[in-house]
Amino acid sequence: MVLQKLSGSGDFGEYTQRSSTEAEIDASLRMKWETLLPGFGSKAWQWDQLFLLKRQVLSRLLHFDHLYRLMMPVQGCVLEMGNQWGAGLATLINLRAIYEPYNYARRVIGFDTFSGFSDLDGQDGAQHRKGDFGVPLGWQEELSSVLELHEANAPLSHIKKFELIAGDASDTVPRWLEDNPGALVSMAIFDMDVYRPTRDALKAILPRMPKGALLVFDELNCPHFPGETVALLETLELRGLRLQANPHQPFCSWAVIE
């Protein structure tokens, strides 16, 4: 599959507020990766690349690891809303294989439009455009094939334990819950950035979340994506929610259902 850069696709420099020096370091590491990759060989193509791993990426992995371990005692599925390229889903599937390889009830469900923002509201600010954070046509199928390989690298690989659902989460999340009346949600990850689908999915999911389940938000208290915070404020009583922050992921927050 040949990937092409999409205009308005949310390049990784978008709202990180990184300095020009940090941007130069990022570009230098990327150039080294492109230059050195052919020399790694077929047996060491991934592990030996870790010497190029940035602290920001490692922080993200540690964040997901922490959340997964907090969630493990709770029965239910893991829902990630907003997948884009699928890094979060792949991480979750691999964490499941590491920590609870025989728990085939821990399904991982991904929701995304796969075409970027489908709609924007006044609560989202004026700096975003319809189609931002989109991926190339056919990426859902490509991502599914990659996730199948990750699942094949774990016990009980004959049981499919993930699902990708395309469409607007305002519609697809309630529909998935309706189609899966016996499903509980042990962790719900909101990474859609914008107001309306966050609000609608949050309202739909809450009745399926038992005590101890995790609500995870990727852009809370974030001036660049105010809609996610507005959706939370309209749906839950903030004073009754013990929001916790990750010092390495400034806008990432989570709360345990109590």
Express each pLDDT in 15-70 by its tens digit: 556 678 878 877 877 787 777 667 766 656 666 677 778 888 999 999 999 999 99
Q: What is the pLDDT of residue 7?
A: 38
Same domain for 30 and 141, yes or no, is no
- CATH code of 181's domain: 3.40.50.150
Same domain for 84 and 113, yes or no, is yes
Alpha-carbon gap, residue 252 to 75, rounded angstroms: 23
Q: Is 8 inside a domain boundary?
A: no
- How many structural domains are present in the chain? 2
Higher pLDDT, 202 or 28: 202
Same domain for 248 and 191, yes or no, is yes
User: Of 24, 140, 149, 162, nearest to 83 (Cα)?
Assistant: 140
Higher pLDDT, 211 or 42: 211
Q: Is 1 inside a domain boundary?
A: no
* Last residue of one domain, picked from the residues 53, 75, 100: 53
Position of tokens 């009830």?
Answer: 105
Q: What is the pLDDT of residue 53?
A: 83
Same domain for 239 and 130, yes or no, is yes
Same domain for 184 and 82, yes or no, is yes
Q: Is 223 inside a domain boundary?
A: yes
Same domain for 172 and 183, yes or no, is yes
Same domain for 41 and 67, yes or no, is no
Higher pLDDT, 8 or 152: 152
Express each pLDDT in 135-152 by its tens digit: 999 999 999 999 999 999
How far, CA to CA in Å, does 77 sit from each of 15, 28, 73, 164, 217?
31, 39, 12, 13, 17
Q: Is 5 inside a domain boundary?
A: no
| Residue 242 pLDDT > 80 | yes
Q: Is 47 inside a domain boundary?
A: yes
* Domain span including residue 28: 17-53
Q: What is the pLDDT of residue 120?
A: 79
* Last residue of one domain, picked from the residues 53, 80, 98: 53
Q: Is 7 inside a domain boundary?
A: no
Q: What is the pLDDT of residue 6?
A: 43
Same domain for 138 and 207, yes or no, is yes
| Residue 5 pLDDT > 60 | no
Residues 6+ apart with CB under 8 A from 95: 64, 65, 68
Same domain for 43 and 114, yes or no, is no
Q: What is the pLDDT of residue 9?
A: 42
How far, CA to CA in Å, does 75 sit from each of 185, 210, 214?
7, 8, 11
Higher pLDDT, 11 or 168: 168
CA dihedral 175, 149, 30, 26 (to 10 degrees): 40
Same domain for 136 and 251, yes or no, is yes
Q: What is the pLDDT of residue 43?
A: 59
Same domain for 49 and 66, yes or no, is no
Query: What average pLDDT does the segment 180-194 reach?
Result: 97
Same domain for 215 and 100, yes or no, is yes
Pair of tokens at residue 6: 């999409």
Q: Is 2 inside a domain boundary?
A: no
Q: Is 209 inside a domain boundary?
A: yes
Residue 228 identity (one-letter amino acid): E
Query: What average pLDDT does the segment 174-194 reach?
Result: 97
Q: What is the pLDDT of residue 154?
A: 92
Range with the poorest average pLDDT among 24-38, 118-132, 166-180: 24-38
Identify the top-confidence range among 9-18, 20-29, 163-172: 163-172
Higher pLDDT, 23 or 251: 251
Pair of tokens at residue 127: 């700096």
